[in-house]
Structure 1
Amino acid sequence: KVLIYFARVCIVSFVATLGTAPLVAYYFHYLTGMGFISNLVVVPMVGFVIMPIVLVAFLVNLFSVSLSIYLWSLAGYVASFMLYFLKAVNSHLSFLVIRWSPTVGEVFLALAGIIIIIFWKKIPYRRLALILFGIFVLSDAAYWHVLPKITGNLEVRFLDVGQGDSIFVRFPNGNTALIDGGGLQGSEFDVGKNIISPALLRMGIYSVDYLFLTHPHYDHYAGLASIAENFHPKILYTNGLASPSEEKEYWSAFLDQINKSGALVYNVYQEGAEPALLLREGDVNINVYVLPENIISDYDLNDSSLVTHIVYKQKSILLTGDLTKKGEQEMMHAKFDLKSNVLKVGHHGSDTSSGQDFLEYVDPDYAVITVGENNRYGMPDEAVLSRLNQEGAKIYRTDLDGMVTLKTNGDDIDVESFVER
């Protein structure tokens, strides 16, 4: 009878875990086998040990309070031991954790698959049901993994991470990059874990090939730690500088996580007018510029920003980090090729950036400002907005538009915002 009971517990636990798995994955972005294992321990322990002790404690309390307290303590010790045991088991079973963030359609598809498995013998036209299910599965896989390569689009997403920067790039060949990771200074909120990771998983992205840190300010590097831990980047490109002394503790923790991830760290240095770093992803050129260190030392740390110029056939995007007007002047003086169709506006739209002559030099059709809603700095500055309008650029703002998505085939550009306004 004990074996029969245990078998039933196993079956019920398995069915419950399987049935709720798609919804768990949708809301929490991962699955773990610990739910099934926990039920095998918790259900018998609670049903046969803890609950009987609790019931006896209630009855004993009628004539002996001291004995009742002892029994309550015993139940507490048993529960604590059970939780300690499960925690110890969980620490050794991290391989059971599967990252999966299904769309609503994939949730229904997974539930349909579970129903087919459980009620296989009762389903009429079983072969037809299986064929249709297979078609839907293949169509979903093709949409996320094959179609992007067929369309040949370069995709750039300006993520809404509040007062910070984080820009995701998917190249036509399927490789990916993340430029900066946001971060909320003075907050325990992990932007990488709670905003960027779910966004990437929703896009079907489970690994990121390249990480770029434009410059070592908290609102640019903090979220990259979580990405490095969970998305297996091959390399991190930086300007080679350390963060300000007041951020030393956070910066050290960030570097530790990068080292643990196994990602190679490559420091970019500028020499001459050619790009300091030139990467190629198929037909896409990624040109990275940075001011020479002897110039940066006299300027704001923001002017150490890696400036990334992404060129795809006839179209290009310029990502300027937090470059200020002084840095802009130096880049123009060096005659860097920065003319672009799309400009990521420097320093969240601060008036310290985006000088009129620089905007004329870049000559953008679109301008994207990554900025937090109702931020204390009053960004973007009205003067910057006025200069962008004067230049004729269509303005998108993450505080008003949410995530801004840009797609181009190299000839045309399509820009969409998460929020319609």
Structure 2
Amino acid sequence: MKVSIFKGKIMIRPFVWTLFFMIAGIIVGQSASVMHFALFAIIVVVLCVVIAWHFKSKIPIIFVLFFLLGNILITNSLKIVSEKAEEMLNQYVTIIGTVTDIDYTSSDRQKLTIKTESIVTETVTETKSLKILAILPEYQNVSLWDTVILKGELLPLEKSTIKGGYDEKLYLSTRGYHYKVYVEEQSVTGQKRTPVLSFIYDLKQSIQKVYDTVLPPEKSGVLKAMVTGDKYDIDTITKELYAQAGITHILAISGLHISIISMYIFYIFEILFKWNKRRCSVIVLFCLLFYLVFAGFSPSAVRAVTMISIVLIGNIFYYESDYINNIAIAAIFILLLQPLYLWDIGFQLSFILVIGIILSLDILKNCNLPKYIKNTLGISLMTSAVSFPIAAYHFHFISIIGILVNIIVLPLTGILLCIGMIVGILGLFSIQVATFLSGIVYYILCFYENICILAKRVPYGYLFCGRPLLITVILCYLLMLIVYFYKRNNIHYKCAVVFVEIMILISVFGNQYIFKKNKVSFLDVGQGDSIVIQTYDNHNYVVDTGGKIWTALGKNTGIYTVLPYLQSENISKIDGLFITHMDGDHCYGAIELMDTIDIDAIYISNYDFEKTTLYETFIKNANKNDIPIFIIGAGDSAKLGNTIQLDVLYPYYNMSFFDANDNHGSLVLRITSGETSILLTGDIGEIDEKILLQQGIDIKSNILKVGHHGSKYSTTKEFLEEVNPEIAVLSYGKNNSYGHPHKETMDKLQNQNIEIYETAEQGIITVLIGEQGYTIEGTYSK
């Protein structure tokens, strides 16, 4: 049964192994030093020589070449494209170029793709063509193919420093962007329209207007996404509803859509015109290329068209298709164009799901089940299982109910897509006919929506599981392969299954039951503080949440930074939220967290803070969510989990100061686990440090969270000598307006030979504390 997919010798599917070595070259080139790359290259060469000798074939020479090619491609993708443009970063520039694509931000501002002719400052001019993402001011619009002059600050693409957060640099670099700019001034100087592209664009706009005319806005947005590839008109509620039901994939032009379109076109010409397979394949291929341009070359469409085109080309040249080989060829082609796609969730899911479908068909073909059940429930169950590890890694949840929802929804997708296209085309000639037919589209979409609402109400249908370790994901797929090849009476297979299962259990539960390491993470929230404390026995605490006063609630650090991190760590409840003081850069994000995650209790300082609007909003939101607030001060202590001791060292009860500086009220917390201690100092200043020193309490700590983001008015020499830390952690925003950290503070840390970690440079700084001490590392190496 299984020989039909992976049969015979290794050389039957050389493209699969070529892809494997190419991916190895990309991964090694992206992450390894020159010395490590040389070591891996030697291993690859030796391995290929062994394979060539064993199979008496010269094909493994290609494997070596593709390993090297993968390394060259990723190195080229990661290198700086323009030295001149790098010099212009964070400077006011003038950009001259052409608008090649238009999208919209969540606040309805135009987001332009600009192909540049030149980028100019007062001293430097870059004429190399670059791809820039430009965000226009509110209520300012331009048209596709406009030649424009834009003025604003040229900015680099930002790397994600939060596990589970949006990685702007990876996402946009994968799509060919080099820099971004928030436009302050713009003017249109002309247009560069080409007849063919203009015709396709105008056709797309006309079809979208038909949808807007015959359907309500929320239904029109869904249909436009499915047919034209433009998703910016889908409202947030619909996106979340489809995601939780596990059918968000139908909102993007993907393999499902392209397969349905190909099938319709193929059968129309085969049945109506009696054409042979070869001629039908030629027509379908040209239609798909036209549709790819029509859909705007969206990444998902490119992947799907590439995979199906390879099958069609095989038909044209009378080549007997091998599905696994075809998938490998498609993946090689896409990685040749952009190796960064290897880290793209869409790329990973596309190929994993297609492989899952193929393997499902192979496994189920000899099962004694009714054909309909095999082709619906069986395939849906198996493809969902195949996608779960990757979905959990990227999205931190899996949709169990999605298995059932897909069985109900997918059979109607072909009808919806077909009638949707007919409505769009007929609407160009007769809006009345299009309105009549659109009723079918409307009721199918209403049915989808009702199914999603019901699915959302099913208990445990939508499970948060956190972000598994990469090794856990790899082990899950290894287990699937072993099970697929499993031979019932072979002891080696049985041992392999048991071994991999044990490794998966250790990777998931090992820390809780074996290693027992506590974790303290200093998050990169920009100019602010946020620390997450996780005990090995599943107790979770947060100290501060960062915040940006000039950013609206709902788009602040609580939602966009702290919550994604908590979800990635599978934290669904905060046992205690400590707010050191009521400055916005420490507590504003907490207001969002109160509405989005369970919080058992909030702890604030015993200090008479100024009753600002922020303070009042904070208290009001805590009361609205029935979260108790406790007042704590020096002398209070608590046990966090089984092994962490938390002591409150400051402020003292009934303290008052002459100046109205709420930083005096900052909580100073000392957490101790085994022989390791960490001192968290909020925004205390020089006066507060002197008070602490006068009390003669023990403040010695291995790790110091430097006070007030490295301000020169904190971290005195005497205080540093008393704490005597090995590590100093600075939490601040890059290029902040305060100049933090100040040079004076950095000099004092360096003079005392203290190792420095900075969230603005290293991203999340993670401390793992075990019985034998601690380890510390940042998201990005120093």
**1:137 partnered with 2:498:** no
Structure 2 counterpart of 1:103: 469
CA shift, 1:400, in A, is 1.8
> Comparing 302-311 with 291-300, which one deviates more in the overlay?
291-300
Structure 2 counterpart of 1:366: 727
- Equivalent of residue 277 in structure 1, options 607, 629, 637: 637
Alignment of 1:269-418 (within 5 A): 269-270=633-634, 275-279=635-639, 282=642, 284-288=644-648, 289-295=650-656, 298-312=659-673, 314-409=675-770, 412-418=773-779
Alpha carbons of structure 1 residues 382 and 319: separation in structure 2 relative to 1, 3 Å: same
Whether the aligned pair in 2 keeps the contact of 1:13 and 1:36 (CA below 8 Å) is: yes
Q: Which amino acid aligns with 1:286?
A: L
Alpha carbons of structure 1 residues 413 and 88: separation in structure 2 relative to 1, 3 Å: closer
Alpha carbons of structure 1 residues 291 and 108: separation in structure 2 relative to 1, 3 Å: same
Whether the aligned pair in 2 keeps the contact of 1:170 and 1:176 (CA below 8 Å) is: yes
Per the normalisation by structure 2, the TM-score is 0.46
CA deviation map 1:239-258 (0-9, x unaligned): 26667634268526752575
Instruction: State how far apart, in whole Å, the 2-side matches of 1:90 and 1:185 are.
Output: 38
Alpha carbons of structure 1 residues 386 and 119: separation in structure 2 relative to 1, 3 Å: same
Whether the aligned pair in 2 keeps the contact of 1:225 and 1:257 (CA below 8 Å) is: no
CA shift, 1:135, in A, is 2.4
Alignment of 1:188-227 (within 5 A): 188-200=554-566, 207-224=573-590
Secondary structure of the corresponding residue to residue 656 of structure 2: helix
Alpha carbons of structure 1 residues 79 and 290: separation in structure 2 relative to 1, 3 Å: farther
CA shift, 1:184, in A, is 3.2
Structure 2 counterpart of 1:17: 384
Instruction: State how far apart, in whole Å, the 2-side matches of 1:46 and 1:168 are.
Output: 44
In angstroms, what is the RMSD of aligned CA positions? Answer: 3.6
> Comparing 136-145 with 346-355, which one deviates more in the overlay?
136-145
Instruction: State how far apart, in whole Å, the 2-side matches of 1:15 and 1:217 are.
Output: 51
Q: Which has the larger radius of gyration?
A: 2
Whether the aligned pair in 1 keeps the contact of 2:730 and 2:758 (CA below 8 Å) is: yes
CA deviation map 1:15-37 (0-9, x unaligned): 22222111111111111234324
Secondary structure of the corresponding residue to residue 302 of structure 1: helix
Q: Which amino acid aligns with 1:73?
A: S
* Matched-pair identity in %: 25
CA shift, 1:355, in A, is 2.8
CA deviation map 1:161-218 (0-9, x unaligned): 2222122234466644322222333335443444344445555656543332212233
Instruction: State how far apart, in whole Å, the 2-side matches of 1:11 and 1:411 are.
Output: 49
CA shift, 1:280, in A, is 6.5
Secondary structure of the corresponding residue to residue 95 of structure 1: coil
Secondary structure of the corresponding residue to residue 460 of structure 2: helix
Alpha carbons of structure 1 residues 78 and 235: separation in structure 2 relative to 1, 3 Å: same
Instruction: State how far apart, in whole Å, the 1-side matches of 2:409 and 2:776 are.
Output: 51
Whether the aligned pair in 2 keeps the contact of 1:24 and 1:31 (CA below 8 Å) is: yes
Alpha carbons of structure 1 residues 378 and 323: separation in structure 2 relative to 1, 3 Å: same
Alpha carbons of structure 1 residues 114 and 414: separation in structure 2 relative to 1, 3 Å: closer
Instruction: State how far apart, in whole Å, the 1-side matches of 2:651 and 2:582 are.
Output: 14
CA shift, 1:320, in A, is 0.6
Q: Which amino acid aligns with 1:97?
A: Y
Per the normalisation by structure 1, the TM-score is 0.81
CA shift, 1:370, in A, is 1.0
Structure 1 counterpart of 2:529: 165
Whether the aligned pair in 2 keeps the contact of 1:243 and 1:251 (CA below 8 Å) is: no
Structure 1 counterpart of 2:602: 236
CA deviation map 1:341-361 (0-9, x unaligned): 321111111223223333334
Secondary structure of the corresponding residue to residue 760 of structure 2: helix
5+ residue gaps, structure 1, are none
Whether the aligned pair in 1 keeps the contact of 2:472 and 2:508 (CA below 8 Å) is: no
Alpha carbons of structure 1 residues 369 and 115: separation in structure 2 relative to 1, 3 Å: same
Alpha carbons of structure 1 residues 287 and 51: separation in structure 2 relative to 1, 3 Å: closer
Give the count of matched residue pairs.
407
Whether the aligned pair in 1 keeps the contact of 2:464 and 2:570 (CA below 8 Å) is: no
Structure 2 counterpart of 1:82: 447
Instruction: State how far apart, in whole Å, the 2-side matches of 1:169 and 1:284 are.
Output: 10
Secondary structure of the corresponding residue to residue 40 of structure 1: helix
Structure 1 counterpart of 2:360: none
5+ residue gaps, structure 2, are 1-369
Structure 1 counterpart of 2:618: 251
